[in-house]
Structure 1
């Protein structure tokens, strides 16, 4: 992971200057309830634009510019903002668009913006949606069902922009690991469904028996994205916790989280429908931690317990290896490409069973926009660059933002939800120095925050000894 060499500055309303006094760009700001404050990489600016949400997960903009938010256990929220330019926005109106407590994560809009999809553990629902009026039809239609299981219950949704009419659904595993070894169980799989066919189908698609299999043996691929140029489908995988290898505890740094490739939704089925290993084989992150290592490297598959039926060699031969491997326990939850496909942004929700917590960050992976492939090779350990982080992981998860959903707006700004803190952030690349405003400045002693109930922007500037402090 590229952390050294990427200059970090304190969370800010605008890029901070290197003088003794650094200034924010919003006239009214809001302080988060936790510290230390988030940090952003140089070349970026970021702000909090909404808070006090129960548990915001997936987010998406509609055709009218309103932000839709799945508030897990509550329903779907719709927010509109007064846009003061840059990252300075204020909530104009908020409403509970859909009151349905079973909704827990998935959210998508049809290509024409007139159908809204959201998911529960059991079903994918569809509502008629009027973006200009901000209203949905009274009764949703169930379009996919038979997805219930315990343990991993999010159902990520992605509407294809390259293959009209298709929706991708990712379903995680149950606490019965044997189910994941049976293709017909529908457990730990990603499938694509042609919703255009539903006009002639009288009942919903059955997840276990319908759709197009993109991959299985996937423990919990919460983030799914489509490359905007090639149409290649990628997912980010939350791998297993508490792993031992031939009886030795290796859970601190293995197995790695994964970036997996699932082919395309056009006529070809190349690179599609394969088994990615779970629960038999896993991706190496730290080869030195693994006992009985006979040539394992970063990204190769290994068996937790080698025996006559499963070995490292069989894992390498029989299962699909990840395109990239990320550090263990970071818990990636979303992935979004930029417009030209040269970057993929990934939210890392953060670890819960690691001695030294990791994750809790928004990071970026470089891609070749022409081929739709990551520029780093499969054994890379430096494919990630951090954009927004919690500077002190020792206080995580209790006093940290925990990123979940991502969405781009029409101005090229990247929005991000944090479910543990009930917040929505907006980030923007910038090469300019912020102009002076009436709102506060930094002092040499540390951080200066300003609060106001009139606005929902916040910024912080931090300077020490006349120079910007790097985080």
Structure 2
């Protein structure tokens, strides 16, 4: 149920989207369980996973239901989505635990491990259990027929229609099978069954529940989630004051728990954990007095105050708003705070001394509700009246985004001095800072004011030439470092996506002699081939190992180094990423900056901080760097949203 970097796409969007993973779509058929006498509408995918729903005789929500999941024993968890997507929808997740099964109610507010969700409850029924070949979970569901979407709008299932649901599964076991609060890895694949809810209705529903319900097994999910996505601001009357934060890196912080995982740092560097127990931490900023402000997805914005040794002394939830997905920024004077959800950008008046906000405003609205959800924000130092917003594609291949008018797979700029009433409409207002950028989550300005972006490449690529298809996925396409330019001037350049991709491993192409950094197309033909990519697409300034998943970037104070967080992925046979790297830059004669390495180099960056063995990493087994910011003395602040624990780290030279 956790994607590498995207939400499971709704059925209405799938016609124009090539999925990240294999997808199975099917219709339901009647099925009656001989053990419980419950009759369902049942769907079975190509892997032998069955999803079944039974309803009472109803005409409208809210209503209870019975859901049954039957899976071959090799599948270590199954997730069921009531709304056909991963994010902002009630999720039922189940897994085997010896001869029994465990279930949990979850909801995801982004592309991360779903949080416990208290508004939908599930009670196990007879027939649940596991044997040597299969496991079965049968539950009564309450509160799953209605929920609030990313806009805070009530969504209701129609019991008289064929609903399109979603399911995900994995062959990797959860971390703590006996606990329904366990973390689990991202899914292997997803499917979109269509289940006829009208045909699933029966007058016998109440008697089925009465004769099969097993009360109080297992215990309910213990951590509640908010009922709606409304925003609550946190004023304060007790100022923290401007506490000095020094210039060094402490050997440890007594206020922080031990690092969840062992790590290694480059010579002359030190990494220290500042805080643990964060809720899906994403991007972060430093305010004018040294507080670290972190987007915690599913929670809001949390401020971490620090003492003279740079260690955290206290924390405070500044904005309680579960749908804040990733983006955060501060104005040049530090008095305005910005943050984004999947569909909107807001601002607040901000007081660093009291870690408090007021006067929430909508600045940008109408962004796409799905696909890559991060919506990174940046304020140019040279142009403090401008707001930069990065918007990813709607999936692995978003062919409609070839038209810049969609606003997807693009970076746009908006004038903060002229925000219209109700905010800018993202797709029709603002100006382009480049398009054909699949998912440029990391944005950074160099010392000359130029905007740079790091981009996540596609997964599962194959290349077909003269009916011969070659699998390129292991080491292609390369992740990209792109120069977008002066943010005060529109940039209408196309950077290649979804048609042209960057070469990382040239030897993977039997039909063509490529160099690292060249661009290629998946099905070269008379209309569009590799040469067309070279002519029409703007190439990357540097490429990096495929599937590293760069999510954050920031320059050193003198722009001699670009630091990049690799979130990491197991999309290739051997996992990669899960580290922070440094890209050396040089100052040019015109005052600008460029990577020291050539675009054809495989050695344009080196590790700063990494897991002991990233080839053995997963969401559960390693830290996963996400956001990064750099202070005035060159220290790095990095978040990790690993499923085992959300963490905040300080890295610096010693």
TM-score of the aligned structures, taking structure 1 as reference length: 0.81
User: Contact (CA 8 Å) 1:412, 1:428: kept in 2 or not?
Assistant: yes
Q: Does 1:320 align with 2:538?
A: yes
CA distance in 1 between counterparts of 2:323 and 2:457 reads 25
In structure 2, the residue matched to 1:371 is 592
Distance 1:118 1:24, change over 3 A: closer
In structure 2, the residue matched to 1:429 is 653
Which ranges of structure 2 fall in alignment gaps of 5 or more residues?
Answer: 1-247
User: How many Å apart are 1:202 and its aligned residue?
Assistant: 2.2
CA distance in 1 between counterparts of 2:532 and 2:331 reads 41
In structure 2, the residue matched to 1:238 is 456
> 1 or 2 for the larger relative contact order (CA 8 Å, sep ≥6)?
1
In structure 2, the residue matched to 1:165 is 385
User: Contact (CA 8 Å) 1:344, 1:366: kept in 2 or not?
Assistant: yes
Q: 2:432 aligns with which of 213, 219, 224?
A: 213
User: Contact (CA 8 Å) 1:190, 1:214: kept in 2 or not?
Assistant: yes
Q: Does 1:262 align with 2:484?
A: yes
User: Contact (CA 8 Å) 2:316, 2:355: kept in 1 or not?
Assistant: no
Distance 1:245 1:373, change over 3 A: same
In structure 2, the residue matched to 1:336 is 554
User: How many Å apart are 1:164 and its aligned residue?
Assistant: 2.3
Q: Does 1:75 align with 2:297?
A: no
User: Contact (CA 8 Å) 1:149, 1:173: kept in 2 or not?
Assistant: no
CA distance in 2 between counterparts of 1:116 and 1:90 reads 23
Q: 2:414 aligns with which of 168, 171, 193?
A: 193
User: How many Å apart are 1:115 and its aligned residue?
Assistant: 0.8
CA distance in 2 between counterparts of 1:401 and 1:123 reads 29
User: Contact (CA 8 Å) 1:70, 1:105: kept in 2 or not?
Assistant: yes
In structure 1, the residue matched to 2:208 is none
CA distance in 2 between counterparts of 1:178 and 1:101 reads 31
SS in 2 for 1:274: strand
In structure 2, the residue matched to 1:150 is 370
User: Contact (CA 8 Å) 2:413, 2:432: kept in 1 or not?
Assistant: yes
User: Contact (CA 8 Å) 1:191, 1:214: kept in 2 or not?
Assistant: yes
SS in 1 for 2:372: coil
Distance 1:115 1:426, change over 3 A: same
User: Contact (CA 8 Å) 2:253, 2:274: kept in 1 or not?
Assistant: no
User: How many Å apart are 1:32 and its aligned residue?
Assistant: 2.6
User: How many Å apart are 1:237 and its aligned residue?
Assistant: 0.3
User: How many Å apart are 1:148 and its aligned residue?
Assistant: 2.0
Distance 1:69 1:28, change over 3 A: closer
CA distance in 1 between counterparts of 2:357 and 2:523 reads 51
User: Contact (CA 8 Å) 1:245, 1:291: kept in 2 or not?
Assistant: no
User: Contact (CA 8 Å) 2:549, 2:567: kept in 1 or not?
Assistant: yes
Alignment of 1:52-451 (within 5 A): 52-84=277-309, 89-137=310-358, 139-175=359-395, 177-198=398-419, 201-228=420-447, 230-246=448-464, 247-266=469-488, 272-293=491-512, 295-369=513-587, 370-397=591-618, 398-420=620-642, 421-430=645-654
Deviations 1:62-106 (A, max 9, x none): 11211100001110001101232xxxx432111110000110100
Which one has the largest radius of gyration? 2
Q: How many residues align?
A: 396
Alignment of 1:2-17 (within 5 A): none
In structure 2, the residue matched to 1:32 is 259
User: How many Å apart are 1:26 and its aligned residue?
Assistant: 6.0
TM-score of the aligned structures, taking structure 2 as reference length: 0.59
CA distance in 1 between counterparts of 2:290 and 2:258 reads 26
